[in-house]
Amino acid sequence: MTNGAKTDRASRRDDAGWITLFPPLAALPEAERGLVVGRAAPAALPAGTTVFEPHQACGAFLFVTGGSVRVFQLDQDGNEIVLYRLGPGSICILTTMALLAAERYSAFAVTETPVTAVALPGGLFDELMGRSGGFRSFVFLAHAERMADLMRVIQNVTFESIPSRLAARLLALAADRKALSITHQQLAAEIGSAREVVSRHLKSFEKRGWVSLARNRIEVRNAASLRSAAGSAKA
């Protein structure tokens, strides 16, 4: 028992560093912070792992500490639309909603890269929501921020034209790079459209000299024109 206790204390000291990615949690009173650190379980997931899927029950509150998770939904034709991504320091709005409402997941989450995370048991999540004002504030603020991201996706899909959404997304994904390693299907998922539609608009962009297309590769040739086409679309 003594050796086990020593190991547990050492493990807590080693694992406690993850909480610095979530400053509001790190600022919790010592007793509450100790509960979070002491009861949270680390997890490591390889790329391509399904984190959750529709109709699956939610049993833990996840804190992403490394890597990238894509959260997406499928339409009736099987086309994918990316809702948001989770990176280091992120929590998932769908997980929060599932735990608060005691409901099941309504979308998919898949790791895009190897991911490290920390899982807080659902029972402890409920306990902390009830007893810790700091924890509640952290959860609701993070929830509101992620909801804003989700609303931007809905706004773009509903009100922005496909060319403007496509141009904006190309610029966002390219960032400081000129070439993207991405398929037309993946790009369609990014903007909530069909692959055939995206391919048609990419061909139009190529004819105008804005991009250059190759197999699973898109090179940005005229970022200024893409920015003009993007207009008010939000990437």
pLDDT in tens, 124-167: 999 999 999 999 999 999 888 888 777 777 777 766 788 988 99
What does pTM read for this prediction? Answer: 0.67
pLDDT at 211: 92
Is pLDDT above 80 for 5?
Answer: no
Residue 172 neighbours by CB under 8 Å, 6+ apart? 235
Is pLDDT above 90 for 10?
Answer: no
pLDDT at 159: 67
Classified as helix, coil or strand, 201 is helix
Is pLDDT above 70 for 16?
Answer: no
Residue 117 pairs in a beta bridge with: 43, 64
Classified as helix, coil or strand, 105 is coil
pLDDT at 150: 76
Residue 66 pairs in a beta bridge with: 116
Exposure string (b/e) for 130-169, b if CB count within 10 Å is 16 or more? eebeebeebbeebbeebeeeeeebeebeeebebbbbbbbb
Measured between alpha carbons, how far is 122 from 160 in angstroms, rounded to an integer?
38
> Which tens digits make up the pLDDT trace of 65-123?
999 999 998 877 777 888 888 999 999 999 999 999 999 999 999 999 999 999 999 99
Is pLDDT above 50 for 12?
Answer: no
Measured between alpha carbons, how far is 86 from 78 in angstroms, rounded to an integer?
22
Q: Average pLDDT of the chain?
A: 86
Which residue blocks in the chain are alpha helix, DSSP H? 2-15, 23-26, 30-39, 93-101, 122-131, 133-159, 162-174, 184-191, 195-207, 223-230
The least confident of 4-8, 71-75, 111-115, 226-230 is: 4-8
pLDDT at 14: 42
Is pLDDT above 70 for 4?
Answer: no
The mean pLDDT value for 47-57 works out to 95
Q: What are phi and psi of 92, to 5 degrees?
A: -105, 125
For tokens 């699973």, name the residue.
Answer: 216
Which residue blocks in 84-193 are alpha helix, DSSP H? 93-101, 122-131, 133-159, 162-174, 184-191
Structural domains in the chain, sorted by start? 16-145 (2.60.120.10), 162-230 (1.10.10.10)
Name the percent of the chain lying above pLDDT 90: 57
Measured between alpha carbons, how far is 103 from 58 in angstroms, rounded to an integer?
8
Band of the pLDDT at 231, cuts 50, 70, 90? Answer: confident
pLDDT at 232: 45
